[in-house]
Structure 1
């Protein structure tokens, strides 16, 4: 797999039926290693190891309904009270992040109401903080580290 713009993390791999699988600590199972999954697993490790988010507050690849359409988010980080702190949209490294990517995560956030958004293809990372009153988002240098309030 392609080297990404994240720190070096350790992963568990195995082969099954001529496919490489990577262990997902959040889902507690091996999943097929696709380019987007490679980015997602790096991002999960980044959130836990570098930003300090507890594994128990992170959720991966769950379905949500938006205007009666079924969608799947990549990563959501919850606050201890159950509200949503952060949504992460992951793309494969070869996918260019453009306005449609931000439109996608903004649509998800209409249903989820996260404070922060992150979009990454593993090479480029973009961070935003929502301004619900002005109905827009502001770009940040990074997302804040987890802190117990």
Structure 2
């Protein structure tokens, strides 16, 4: 995904992964399914290492698993570009499922469409399989909490 001009990340992929372990430990609990693989100006790439826990009947990765990947992509973008305030929250997320995704690595290529003081709008292309075809596409909005003033 191309870099966005004027949007500079404030955190690396490793720093975001470490922050997620602290503030959102239930995301991966005993397993390391959801990971940030890249942070770049104006976006990020997140990965779901889907196994049998993520499958619905028919061997298809479940919609909730792909939805979670989309939401994590937006969360990573807001954390890495607006600042590491864990209280940023999803206000909207729309997803369209295109084709079946099987177990294995599933990548979400996320880009920030607009970053303001209180809202961030993003989209994410979720790709899987040996041909890396789009299995889902989502758009969403995150609410960014106001900057807290420190008192002395």
TM-score calculated relative to the size of structure 2: 0.31
Task: Answer 1 or 2: higher relative contact order, Cα 8 Å, separation at least 6.
Answer: 2
Task: Give the TM-score taking structure 1 as reference length.
Answer: 0.32
